[in-house]
């Protein structure tokens, strides 16, 4: 037990923080059963990476980017998304969205990686994850349709509607979440990307629940609300229709 605590302490000192959304412990058996049935996503919402239980063995889920802590611009790493998957965002879209944030919020950020979806990751599919100074964004199905084997919770239905996703029942307790191209880009740019940045900036909270609560607030404040305010502030182009008087024929 003492060895386990010291290992966690040294892990925190190195700054190798891994944070992600994970299933609750009581869902683990259901998750294992769902995995044996096929490739359908086993939870009512995609996860954000690996396990939050520090008592479990630590298995790096991603490429570790050694922090240089020298400030300056971050870099973007693009991996092949994998068969049947596609990246939602381009490097230019990521840079353009992050440039709208106060520069101070980007100082700790060193890497944004568009990661590959592997067979192992497809069993616990992710939207995004933060680990150390890096943010990882995961690809989505090329069809923009995600299948689930249990009904979505009310908060997940609300979240999808906030960004334009549509939940549809398939029967037998199965559901699918359908995205359009503008909706999924909005979801990644103003929710997933900003949520994971919130984890990176959170140097006060230590518990999983508190850190997740902070990242959710950060995503709403700097993602959803700010994007909607900017959208409302954009002047609309008004096209005036000019009706010419018909010439009267004698």
Residue 60 has a pLDDT of: 52
Cα separation, 224 vs 163, whole angstroms = 9
Residue 155 has a pLDDT of: 87
Domains identified in the chain, total number: 1
Helix axes of 208-219 and 193-201: crossing angle, nearest 10 degrees = 130
Per the structure, the complete domain to which residue 190 belongs is given by: 33-56+65-230
Does residue 78 sit within a domain?
yes
Residue 250 has pLDDT above 50, yes or no: no
Does residue 140 sit within a domain?
yes
Cα separation, 124 vs 16, whole angstroms = 21
Q: Return the number of other C-beta atoms located less than 10 Å from residue 190's C-beta.
A: 22
Residue range 109-118: mean pLDDT, rounded: 93
Does residue 6 sit within a domain?
no
Sign of CA dihedral 57, 192, 111, 117: positive
Does residue 18 sit within a domain?
no
Residue 214 has pLDDT above 80, yes or no: yes
Residue 227 has a pLDDT of: 72
For residue 107, what is the DSSP state?
T
Residue 240 has a pLDDT of: 38
Q: Return the number of other C-beta atoms located less than 10 Å from residue 149's C-beta.
A: 19
Residue 124 has a pLDDT of: 67
Residue range 63-85: mean pLDDT, rounded: 85
Q: Which residue has the higher pLDDT, 55 or 188?
A: 188
Residue 156 has a pLDDT of: 86
Q: Tell me the two tokens of residue 99.
A: 């440039």
Q: Which residue has the higher pLDDT, 7 or 89?
A: 89
Residue 89 has pLDDT above 80, yes or no: yes
Cα separation, 178 vs 233, whole angstroms = 29
The residues, any chain, with a CB within 8 Å of residue 22's CB and separated by 6 or more, are: 47, 48, 49, 50, 51, 52
Residue range 98-126: mean pLDDT, rounded: 88
Query: What are the tens digits of pLDDT across the range 5-55?
Result: 333 333 333 344 455 443 333 333 333 333 333 333 333 234 433 334 444
Does residue 121 sit within a domain?
yes
Q: Which residue has the higher pLDDT, 111 or 33?
A: 111
Query: What are the tens digits of pLDDT across the range 115-168?
Result: 998 877 777 667 999 999 999 999 999 999 999 888 988 988 898 899 999 999
Residue 143 has a pLDDT of: 96
Does residue 94 sit within a domain?
yes
Does residue 105 sit within a domain?
yes
What is the spatial order of strands in the sheet that 174-178 belongs to?
145-148, 174-178, 166-171
Does residue 27 sit within a domain?
no
Residue 112 has a pLDDT of: 97
Cα separation, 58 vs 170, whole angstroms = 37
- Least confident segment among 42-51, 89-98, 105-114, 204-213: 42-51
Residue 62 has a pLDDT of: 74
Residue 120 has a pLDDT of: 75
């Amino acid at each position: 037990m003492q060895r386990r605590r010291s290992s966690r302490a040294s892990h925190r000192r190195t700054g190798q923080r891994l944070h992600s959304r994970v299933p609750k412990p009581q869902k683990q058996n259901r998750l294992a059963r769902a995995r044996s049935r096929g490739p359908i996503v086993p939870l009512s919402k995609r996860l954000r990476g690996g396990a939050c239980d520090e008592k479990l063995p630590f298995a790096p889920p991603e490429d570790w980017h050694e922090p240089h802590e020298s400030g300056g611009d971050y870099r973007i790493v693009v991996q092949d998304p994998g068969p049947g998957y596609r990246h939602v965002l381009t490097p230019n879209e990521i840079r353009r969205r992050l440039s709208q944030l106060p520069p101070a919020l980007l100082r700790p950020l060193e890497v944004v990686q568009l990661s590959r979806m592997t067979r192992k990751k497809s069993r616990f599919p992710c939207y995004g994850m933060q680990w150390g100074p890096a943010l990882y964004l995961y690809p989505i199905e090329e069809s923009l349709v995600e299948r689930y084997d249990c009904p979505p919770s009310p908060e997940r239905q609300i979240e999808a509607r906030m960004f334009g996703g549509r939940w549809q029942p398939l029967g037998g307790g199965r559901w699918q979440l359908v995205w359009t191209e503008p909706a999924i880009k909005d979801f990644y740019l103003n929710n997933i990307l900003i949520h994971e940045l919130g984890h990176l900036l959170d140097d006060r909270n230590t518990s999983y629940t508190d850190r997740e609560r902070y990242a959710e607030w950060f995503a709403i404040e700097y993602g959803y609300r700010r994007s909607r305010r900017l959208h409302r502030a954009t002047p609309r182009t008004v096209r005036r229709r000019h009706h010419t008087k018909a010439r009267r024929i004698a």
